[in-house]
Amino acid sequence: MRRTFSKGGVHPADRKLAADSAIEILPLPQRMYISMSQHLGAPAQPLVQKGDRVRAGQLIGASSGFISANIHSSVSGTVVAVEPYADLAGNPAMHVIIDVEGDEWEESIDRTPDIVRDITMSPAEIVKRIADCGVVGLGGASFPTHVKLSPPPGKKADVLIVNGAECEPYLTSDYRLMLEHAEEVLLGARIMMKALGVTKGYIGIEDNKPEAIRKMRELTASSYPEIEVVSLRKKYPQGGEKQLIDAVTGRRVPSMGLPIDAGAVVQNVGTAFAVYEAVQKNKPLFEGVMTVTGECLDSQRNFRLRVGTPFGEILEAVGGIPSQTAKIISGGPMMGKAVSNIAAASVKSTSSLLLLTEKQTKRRMEGECIRCGKCVEACPMGLEPYLLNKLARAGHNDELERNKVYDCIECGCCMFTCPANIPLLDYIRTAKADVMRIMRGRPKK
């Protein structure tokens, strides 16, 4: 039986144009730009300086706080600068800039294609290795994985859920990983289950990916009985942690709560693969899989590429930017970020470059709210977006807090479904940030 979450959601067209495109290795560019801010939390502190020679897998940025992550070089070569460089939004962030020379890797990394199935590390050793290798969540938020696998005192998980929903239109990198590296993904899940001390795992996959469901079920039936493959009815935002927990287990995360409050830890398919490589191959997270797609492109591609590859180099590999391109988005069309700086470079969590035409991006004229309630029906958090929008425009922060604006997951379902073309999320997102800032500034009781 197909499952799904209980509140709201929308059904945008799949547009999985690159689904049949096997993962290709993207050639190395001549220069890499490796950000020290590739994760949620404090930026890493650079450990190298101009003139230093580095190898792929070498630690070049040290975690600088509890919520932070190590950064490793993705290439071998010479450091030509350690300085601010513009990210995809054009904002300066500290980068290590490396001229590529050959492709030498740290000798401690197992580069053989053999799958290592025996998990010999203890839970504590697993968490440490994941932290050492700089693994972060690859589903969008880039939360350091070792922190997620270390629940705070008084909190305990009894289930691990691997997110294979990939519910955003266009994205196919997780799908290709499940097809081409299914066992490594399942081994990554088993490793994380051992770290958490749980005996039950799930992998949730939407039913528009039948080949991935079939492959995963074949493997779990023969070798991974502790992991259940759950077929999910296609609905956005099924990949949201709270929605996925609801869909898979029927549990609800409380308001302002975290998945651990429902006894669950959720990790992305790409994260599971990165955990496998870190623990079984001693390979830091310095490369990943991303989709390059859009109707205006002649070919749709899925690339395995090194972290720090300039977007311009990636787009050259698909023939350059077509003249009809009006906007480039990093991520999916619902929650991705517009790229304003094509010279910016990929980071650990870069999942896609989506090219859209003017027709696809042009906003329609905003009308008056007709109180139809469609935004309320669509909200997966059970909020009232039309009301939050009204309060946000009026600057009523107290009322916004009382109406739980902090629970908004910024999925965009309200805007997608609004017949009056009101940019609901634009106002709600800004108001949410203001309310959260006020709440954080209050003295702790």
Q: 168-203, pLDDT tens digit by residue?
A: 999 999 999 999 999 999 999 999 999 999 999 999
Point out which residues pair with 86 in neighbouring strands.
Answer: 92
Nearest to 175 by CA among 377, 354, 20: 20
- For residues 284 and 57, the answer to whether their CB atoms sit within 8 Å is yes
CA-nearest of 288, 336, 287, 345 to 88 is: 345
Has residue 140 got a pLDDT over 80? no
Q: Left if phi > 0, otherwise alpha if psi is -120 to 50, otherwise beta: which for 430? A: alpha
Preceding amide of 237 cis, omega within 30: yes
Instruction: Give yes or no for residue 1 having a pLDDT over 90.
Output: no
- For the residues of 279-321, what is the DSSP string, one character each? HHH---S-EEEEEEE-TTSS--EEEEEETT-BHHHHHHTTTS-
Percentage of the residues of the chain whose pLDDT score is greater than 90: 97
pLDDT tens, residue by residue, 4-24: 999 999 999 999 999 999 999
Distance CA 117, CA 209 (A): 26
- Quick one: pLDDT at residue 162? 98
Per-residue pLDDT tens digits for 14-57:
999 999 999 999 999 999 999 999 999 999 999 999 999 999 99
Give the whole-angstrom CA distance, residue 65 versus residue 70.
Answer: 10
Q: Is the pLDDT of residue 445 over 70?
A: no
**Phi and psi angles of residue 94, each rounded to the nearest 5 degrees, phi first:** -65, 130
C-beta atoms surrounding 360 within 10 Å: 15
DSSP 85: E
As a whole number, mean pLDDT of residues 295-299 equals 94
State residue 141's pLDDT score: 80
92-100 and 159-164 as β-strands: parallel, antiparallel, unpaired? unpaired
For residue 438, what pLDDT is reported?
A: 95
Predicted confidence (pLDDT) at residue 444 exceeds the cutoff of 90: no
User: Rounded distance, CA 185 to CA 229, Å?
Assistant: 12
Tell me the average pLDDT across 129-146.
Answer: 94
Helix axes 123-132 and 182-196, enclosed angle (nearest 10): 120
Residue-level pLDDT at 389: 97
Q: What is the mean pLDDT of residues 385-401?
A: 97
CA distances from 240 to 14, 163, 313 (A): 17, 9, 31
Q: Is the pLDDT of residue 364 over 80?
A: yes
Six token digits for residue 64 = 């600088």
- How much is the pLDDT for 244? 98
Average pLDDT rounded to a whole number, residues 373-397: 97
Q: What's the pTM?
A: 0.96
Is the pLDDT assigned to residue 405 strictly greater than 90?
A: yes
